[in-house]
Amino acid sequence: MEIRPILSALRHNLTGALLIATQVALTLAIISNSASVIRERLAVSQRDSGVDAESRILTQRPILFSQIDLANLIQTDLDALRAIPGVESVTVTNQVPMGRSGWSSTFATERVPTAPNQSAGLYFDGGRLLETFGLKLVEGRGFRDDEIVNIDPKVQNPPPTGVLLTRRLAEALFPGQSQFVGRVFYQGNTPDSEELRVIGVIERFTTPWAQTGPGNEYAVVFPARYLNPFNHYVVRAAPGAEAQVRKAMEEALEKNEPGRVSNGQYSIQEMRDRRYRGERALAWLLVSVTVFLLGVTASGIVGMASLWVNLRRKQIGVRRALGATRGDIVRYFLTENLIITSAGIAVGVLAAWGLNGVLMSELSVPRLPLDYLLSGVLLMLLLGVVAVLGPALRAAKLSPALATRSV
Partner 1 sequence: MLGYYLQLGFRNLRRSPVLTALIILTLAVGVAASMSTLTVLYMMSGDPIPQKSSRLLTLKLDNYPLDFNDTDEKLPGILTWTDVRNLREDAKGLRRTGLYGISGIVYPNKEGVKNFFADGVAVDADFFAMMDAPFIAGGAWTAAEDRSEARVAVIAAPLAEKLFGKESAIGRNLRMDSEEFRVVGVLHDWKPTPKFYRMDGNSSAGSDADDIFIPLSTALAAHRDVSGNTSCYSNADPGFEGLMRSECIWLRYWVELGSEAERAEYRDYLSAYVQRQKQLGRLPRPDKSALYNVREWLQEIEVVDDDTRLQTWLAFGFLSVCLVNTIGLLLAKFTARTAEIGVRRALGATRSQIFLQYLSEAAALGLVGSIIGVAGAFGMLHLLAKQSPNLEQYARMDPTMLATTVLLSVLAAVIAGLLPTLRATQVVPALQLKSQ
Partner 2 sequence: MLQMDGVQKIYRTDLVQTYALRSLSLRVAEGEFVAVTGPSGSGKTTFLNIAGLLETFEAGTYRLDGEDVSKLSDHARSRLRNVKIGFIFQSFNLIPDLNVYDNVDVPLRYRGMAGSERKRRITEALERVGLASRHQHLPSQLSGGQQQRVAIARALAGSPRILLADEPTGNLDSLMAREVMNMLEEINAQGTTIVMVTHDPELARRVHRNIHVMDGQVSDLDQRLAA
Interacting residues toward partner 1 by CB under 8 A: 15-16, 19-20, 22-23, 26-27, 29-30, 34, 37, 63, 65, 100-101, 112-117, 153-156, 189-190, 192, 228, 259-261, 263, 277-278, 280-282, 284-286, 289, 292-293, 296-297, 299-300, 303-304, 306-307, 310-312, 314-315, 355, 359, 362-365, 406-407
Among 177, 212, 263, 399, binds partner 2 (CB under 8 A): 399
Question: How many residues form the binding site for partner 2 (CB under 8 A)?
Answer: 27
Q: What is the C-alpha to C-alpha distance for residues 119 and 123, in angstroms, rounded to an integer? A: 13
CA dist list (Å): 104 to 139, 207, 328: 23, 9, 70
Q: What is the C-alpha to C-alpha distance for residues 173 and 185, in angstroms, rounded to an integer? A: 8
Instruction: Give the one entry of partner 2, partner 1, none that residue 285 binds, where binding means its C-beta sits below a cut-off of 5 to 8 angstroms depending on kind.
Output: partner 1
CA triple 368-370-374, angle to 5 deg: 115
Number of other residues whose CB lies within 10 A of the CB of residue 234: 24
User: Facing residues of 236 across strands?
Assistant: 57, 89
Q: What is the C-alpha to C-alpha distance for residues 28 and 238, in angstroms, rounded to an integer? A: 49
- Minimum CB separation from partner 1 for residue 375, in Å? 19
By CB under 8 A, residue 285 contacts partner 2: no
By CB under 8 A, residue 319 contacts partner 2: yes
Instruction: Give the one entry of partner 1, partner 2, none that residue 100 binds, where binding means its C-beta sits below a cut-off of 5 to 8 angstroms depending on kind.
Output: partner 1
Q: Where are the beta strands (DSSP E) in 169-245?
A: 184-187, 194-202, 219-222, 224-226, 232-237
- Minimum CB separation from partner 2 for residue 272, in Å? 60
Instruction: Give the one entry of partner 2, partner 1, none that residue 177 binds, where binding means its C-beta sits below a cut-off of 5 to 8 angstroms depending on kind.
Output: none
By CB under 8 A, residue 39 contacts partner 2: no
Instruction: Give the one entry of partner 1, partner 2, none that residue 400 binds, where binding means its C-beta sits below a cut-off of 5 to 8 angstroms depending on kind.
Output: partner 2
Q: How far apart are the first and last CA of the chain?
A: 29
Q: What is the C-alpha to C-alpha distance for residues 25 and 153, in angstroms, rounded to an integer? A: 62
Among 250, 328, 369, 385, binds partner 2 (CB under 8 A): 328
Do the beta carbons of residue 104 and residue 207 sit within 8 Å? yes
Q: What is the C-alpha to C-alpha distance for residues 370 and 119, in angstroms, rounded to an integer? A: 34
Q: Which is nearer to partner 2, 393 or 403 (CB)?
A: 403
φ, ψ dihedrals at 67, nearest 5°: -75, 40
Q: Which is nearer to partner 2, 288 or 325 (CB)?
A: 325
By CB under 8 A, residue 326 contacts partner 2: yes
Q: Which residues bind partner 2 (CB under 8 A)?
A: 2, 4-5, 8-9, 11-13, 314-315, 318-328, 399-401, 403-404, 406
